Structure 1
Amino acid sequence: MRRYSLFFILLAIIAFSACKQTPKKTDDPAIQRKKDSLERIKKAEEAEKVRPRTAADIKLEKDLTYNEHTLEETYPYKDTTRHFQLDKIKEKLAYIENFQRAPHNYAVLQNYKNRNGESPVVENFVRNAYKRVSDTLGTERYQSAPLYRAEDSAKPSIYGRDGSLVSLESSDTLKMVKVNGISFEGTWFVPKRYVKSIGDSLKITHVNFVDVTNQNILTVERTGEEEWKIRSMNPATSGLHKPPHQMETPVGIFMVQEQKAKMFYLGDGTKTIEGFAPWASRFTNGGYIHGVPVNNPKGKIVEYSWSLGTTPRSHMCVRNASSHAKFVYDTSKPFKSLVVVID
């Protein structure tokens, strides 16, 4: 009996060991298809997160919070029509969405009235219609920052406009810092004195679009992921190319840098204060978004001018109805908001 007992115990041990070594059965096809499907969904979600956004991804809805002097999307002008270039605006908003999705140490190029020193002459320079030194792209030396191809370059290659947004790629303790352009293309070296660091937490929620072709201004506010609301649609008057004093408003992406409740201006070619423009928000060089100019330093604010929305006639600035300039002044804070000039 003991022999039989031992025999059966041995058989049980062998059977148990065999069970442990038997590989698990492969999942049935339905379960495997479900696993594969979940894996594909996960990969698709990961790819969607990093996919560059396009104009088609931007949700842009009209939800005005400023309701004075409002223009329709398409409106008559003399014997033709003008419009708001919403497709181009969506393209710019997609670009803004894309650069904000990657980490950056943001900075702004600054040289208002050459306060940080006159830039050196670029390698290949020209004299423009105003008889001022410019690079071959048309950016003037005056009020700009020099951009060098390499840290040890003898001369800058081009100029970066005052108010241009960049990503700071090297320590700002150095004399010469490396930047990647956001407002312009390429990687460049810039003397530190022309670069104002604004940190890594910038979140652009307010953008002002100035259209120099259609002479209008549209403001937007970001309300969610790829979601923007149109807050105002107004007539505007941009800068006129008329040497030696009047200059066109440059096309590009600029940071709002400073604001003045009254921006006093001089008479052309003089040092005499001729008047003021109310609710001025400066974005590049001497270019401001501001209200209707008052040709009297002690005069009262004027709300509207017949010239708004007609033809360029300003000095680089963007004229608005004064209450709209106040709206921009209140919503677009310095170093937190953009002015995008399109043509």
Structure 2
Amino acid sequence: MRRYSLFLMLLAIIAVSSCTNSSEKTIDPTIQRKNDSLERVKKAEEEAKAKPRTAADIKLEKELTYDQHSLEETYPYKDTTRQFQLEKIKEKLAFIENFQRAPHNYAVLQNYKNRNGESPVVEHFVRNAYKRVSDTLGTERYQSAPLYPAEDSDKPAIYGRDGSLVSLESSDTLKMVKVNGISFEGSWFVPKRYVKSIGDSLNITHVNFVDVTNQNILTVERTGEDEWKIRSMNPATSGLHRPPHQMETPVGIFMVQEQKSKMFYYGDGTTTIEGFAPWASRFTNGGYIHGIPVNNPKGKIVEYSWSLGTTPRSHMCVRNASSHAKFVYDTSKPFKSLVVVID
């Protein structure tokens, strides 16, 4: 009888073990990963829809890691007062938090110096003060990507500026992709050659805010969910609207795209190298955040200029103290950082 009981217990153990092994064998690792991924996407979508962040949700604290040439939150300028527009900056940071909470396949529009081909003329175009073709919103054809309202449209409706951030929605055809604007509004079709995919795991931790009204620059670093630290507060000089050579710095959200320790530049209207600007980070067209220009290709870096923080006088670029340009160069890596230009 005792042997019979032991035999039954052994059978039970074998049966349980068999069921367990059978259950384990039915789990396909590929299906499990797919289910986990879908669950993460669903959770992210639910969080994004639940409560969009606002400026009031953003915790922005001053904790400088670059403290040279620093300005206060408000400061005197001639017979008036200038400021860092912190509420507007918080609004932009809330926007950045919101688009990163939902799943995206990120991409950047690119056409620096028309490297990807000159864009077709938009259906309704104008010639601007520089005698260049632009759309009715003021974006030039030169260095921009064409945005079509439909895949089979004959002509683009508007232009997308180089450096603009978008979300890729499809790539079903050989020539065109559908994008949703992040730097601009709307859904558009764009020829593939103007679109650089940068993946689905964008994590923006460094943003440079350029204020063309107050002529200053403020950099921030993300240190937690909805939490950002101010890392520098400095004077800057933006681009001047003066045809035919100088252009204003465009307002908008742009991706840092490339960096040069020395950005050599031509004299106006020539192809002769006149000098260089140190520690240059390009964000749109020929617009860079850079240090003090040196009008000698073999000259030495200059740290500061009396003109910083005064009035626009650059060629679309944003001039900084050279050590601050180096700070931006070191912290804002291409395709991982943003430049936000506000007015």
TM-score if structure 2 supplies the norm length?
0.86
d(CA) in 1 for partners of 2:72, 2:238 = 19
Q: Is 2:316 the partner of 1:319?
A: no
Q: Is 2:251 the partner of 1:251?
A: yes
d(CA) in 2 for partners of 1:173, 1:222 = 37
d(CA) in 2 for partners of 1:47, 1:278 = 42
CA deviation profile, 1:13-49 (whole Å, cap 9, x unmatched)? xxxxxxxxxxxxxxxxxxxxxxxxxxxxxxxxx7797
Q: Is the 8 A contact 2:48 2:102 kept in 1?
A: no
The letter for the 1-side match of 2:96 is: I
Secondary structure of the 2:60 match is: strand
In 2 relative to 1, CA 49–109 (structure 1 residues): closer, same or farther, beyond 3 Å? Answer: closer
Mapping 1:1-343, distance limit 5 Å: 50-171=50-171, 174-343=174-343
CA deviation profile, 1:153-190 (whole Å, cap 9, x unmatched)? 00000000000000000127631000000000000000
d(CA) in 2 for partners of 1:167, 1:113 = 23
Q: Is the 8 A contact 1:172 1:192 kept in 2?
A: no
Q: Is the 8 A contact 2:48 2:101 kept in 1?
A: no
Secondary structure of the 2:324 match is: helix
d(CA) in 2 for partners of 1:214, 1:337 = 22
- Aligned-residue offset at 1:328: 0.1
Q: Is the 8 A contact 2:287 2:318 kept in 1?
A: yes
d(CA) in 1 for partners of 2:249, 2:201 = 29
TM-score if structure 1 supplies the norm length?
0.86
Q: Is the 8 A contact 1:290 1:317 kept in 2?
A: yes
Q: Is the 8 A contact 2:209 2:340 kept in 1?
A: yes
Q: Is the 8 A contact 1:60 1:230 kept in 2?
A: yes
Q: Is the 8 A contact 1:203 1:336 kept in 2?
A: yes
d(CA) in 2 for partners of 1:115, 1:325 = 26
| CA RMSD across the alignment | 1.1
Which 4+ residue blocks in structure 1 deviate beyond 6 angstroms? 46-49
CA deviation profile, 1:292-340 (whole Å, cap 9, x unmatched)? 0000000000000000000000000000000000000000000000000
Q: Is the 8 A contact 2:110 2:144 kept in 1?
A: yes
d(CA) in 1 for partners of 2:297, 2:320 = 19
In 2 relative to 1, CA 78–172 (structure 1 residues): closer, same or farther, beyond 3 Å? Answer: farther
Identity value in percent:
92
d(CA) in 2 for partners of 1:215, 1:119 = 32
- Aligned-residue offset at 1:50: 2.1
d(CA) in 1 for partners of 2:250, 2:172 = 28
d(CA) in 2 for partners of 1:300, 1:172 = 51
In 2 relative to 1, CA 280–173 (structure 1 residues): closer, same or farther, beyond 3 Å? Answer: farther
Unpaired runs of 5+ residues, structure 2, are 1-45
In 2 relative to 1, CA 49–190 (structure 1 residues): closer, same or farther, beyond 3 Å? Answer: closer
d(CA) in 2 for partners of 1:307, 1:223 = 33
In 2 relative to 1, CA 188–302 (structure 1 residues): closer, same or farther, beyond 3 Å? Answer: same
In 2 relative to 1, CA 60–154 (structure 1 residues): closer, same or farther, beyond 3 Å? Answer: same
d(CA) in 1 for partners of 2:172, 2:331 = 30
The letter for the 2-side match of 1:134 is: S
d(CA) in 2 for partners of 1:288, 1:112 = 12
The structure having more radius of gyration, on CA atoms, is 1
In 2 relative to 1, CA 50–129 (structure 1 residues): closer, same or farther, beyond 3 Å? Answer: same
Secondary structure of the 2:170 match is: coil
Q: Is the 8 A contact 2:149 2:187 kept in 1?
A: yes
Q: Is the 8 A contact 1:119 1:141 kept in 2?
A: yes
Secondary structure of the 1:169 match is: strand
Secondary structure of the 1:103 match is: coil
d(CA) in 2 for partners of 1:85, 1:48 = 26
d(CA) in 2 for partners of 1:290, 1:189 = 33
